[in-house]
Structure 1
């Protein structure tokens, strides 16, 4: 009898209604990536209105994100973006709770967009002194608009809102914990090379560990830059 009762309880989660039809639930899941039961609940609460359901799920996701911000985030990935033409490099570390989530598309897409956004700014001073300073990071994520919002249902997002979106998608605490950015001057004999260890895939610029080598000639001559490049690699 107990097993039968449990079966009925589980089955009730998938009981479709006139508002939450299979077709509408599928559409909402494709748009949001939200769990089946959340999509059904949203459609029930909004009498089958897709736009209102999207807003319902967005607010629910933000509320869930707020509950997770204090949870330990000790896993994650490092992302590196280097522009040799502009002599500029940016490295960030995005943390999550488990290695499983770090491997997901939602997490890696978020990392790429946050990295691209920070790299596009020319007014970021993210040296060793600032790279993990909480006040610096708090101001950065609040003041920086993503080049493209991670939530397709909104016109614009800052990094803070983007992080909340990733949290809602992954159901884990996700935090930007380090940012480093620098420019170098090849005309004065400087070279920079970045390493990404344990890459998610070859050439992705994302991996478990990131390191950077910055070399410069004492005489500031660019003549042996190719030799320094070889040393740095």
Structure 2
């Protein structure tokens, strides 16, 4: 792609993702031959962009809904998309979203996160409230009735012998499920709510794993490469730059792992500190086993 083919829209998108200046964005896109993700890396390596602020996005409206059973051992979450906010707030659409979440809650075959989408295998699942129909039939009927594309984008279900905590933002645009293992009761339930609320807030960034053991080696390798390039760009010899990397990686792990993050309600303690304190008070070996976060328009 030549420089003349770099559109203003692409430059604006890269600027939104990185916070870099327009000319820096344009040059990075030219160097990357129009590859947006590569342009982000180029800006980060040059120290012009701190990080990519934007996940892959989809222009979408709709509802994120959570269903939880009576004893908080099962929680289910769905994202049902449509084209306009008008339809997304419609009473029938909201009711269907809740019914889909209830259906999922009853489906013991699902454990964890499942991407569904327009052609997903989950659409062939018999509908819990009328076995003559499938989940796909129900979604198609909603599309026909609203006149808009309706899509069950993703689903998640946690079943546990501990506690399935959850948090749903008031506008139905963000939701979180958290599994607390090692105990039950009021304190475990409260911990599940607090941790889910923290994950939803995404502070300082959206966590990518519970702890460092859950962070992929691919992610760490890419970040190491970028940190070294930033140090070299600032004038450090590569041998020195390599030595500096490990400290920055450890700092990064504290930022992107859930237990290492400062708790959103009290930044003087980490989420890990909160879990440990609650476990001690409850006299139970409480631990965060897993979490999943949905935000409308993000993958």
| TM-score where L is the length of structure 2 | 0.41
> Structure 1's 171 and 146: CA in aligned 2 closer, same or farther, altered over 3 A?
farther
Name the CA distance, whole Å, in 1 between partners of 2:157 and 2:64: 13
How many residues are treated as equivalent by the alignment?
136
Q: Could you say which residue in structure 2 is the equivalent of 1:192?
A: 164
**Residues 89-137 of structure 1: per-residue CA shift (max 9 Å, x gap):** 1111000111110011231222122222222222223x13xx21559x7
> Structure 1's 148 and 112: CA in aligned 2 closer, same or farther, altered over 3 A?
farther
Whether 1:210 and 2:211 are equivalent positions in the alignment is no
Whether 1:144 and 2:133 are equivalent positions in the alignment is no
> Structure 1's 162 and 139: CA in aligned 2 closer, same or farther, altered over 3 A?
same
Q: Could you say which residue in structure 1 is the equivalent of 2:10?
A: none
Name the CA distance, whole Å, in 2 between partners of 1:169 and 1:181: 28
> Structure 1's 116 and 183: CA in aligned 2 closer, same or farther, altered over 3 A?
same
> Structure 1's 85 and 104: CA in aligned 2 closer, same or farther, altered over 3 A?
same
Whether 1:183 and 2:159 are equivalent positions in the alignment is yes
Whether 1:132 and 2:104 are equivalent positions in the alignment is no
User: What SS does the aligned partner of 2:122 have?
Assistant: helix
> Structure 1's 132 and 163: CA in aligned 2 closer, same or farther, altered over 3 A?
same
Q: Could you say which residue in structure 2 is the equivalent of 1:15?
A: none
Q: State the shift of 1:178 in Å.
A: 0.7
Name the CA distance, whole Å, in 1 between partners of 2:134 and 2:127: 4
1:105 corresponds to which of 71, 87, 91 = 91
> Structure 1's 148 and 113: CA in aligned 2 closer, same or farther, altered over 3 A?
farther
> Structure 1's 157 and 133: CA in aligned 2 closer, same or farther, altered over 3 A?
closer
**Residue segments in structure 2 that go unaligned for 5+ positions in a row:** 1-57, 194-299
Name the CA distance, whole Å, in 2 between partners of 1:144 and 1:86: 25
Aligned pairs for 1:1-233 (under 5 A) are: 74-85=60-71, 87-125=73-111, 127-128=112-113, 131-132=114-115, 138-148=120-130, 156-186=132-162, 191-199=163-171, 207-216=172-181, 220=182, 222=183, 225-233=185-193
Moved over 4 A (4+): none
User: What SS does the aligned partner of 1:157 have?
Assistant: strand
**Residue segments in structure 1 that go unaligned for 5+ positions in a row:** 1-71, 150-155, 200-206
> Structure 1's 230 and 105: CA in aligned 2 closer, same or farther, altered over 3 A?
closer
> Structure 1's 143 and 214: CA in aligned 2 closer, same or farther, altered over 3 A?
closer
User: What SS does the aligned partner of 2:129 have?
Assistant: coil
> Structure 1's 86 and 132: CA in aligned 2 closer, same or farther, altered over 3 A?
same
Q: State the shift of 1:211 in Å.
A: 1.0
| TM-score where L is the length of structure 1 | 0.52
Name the CA distance, whole Å, in 1 between partners of 2:144 and 2:116: 25
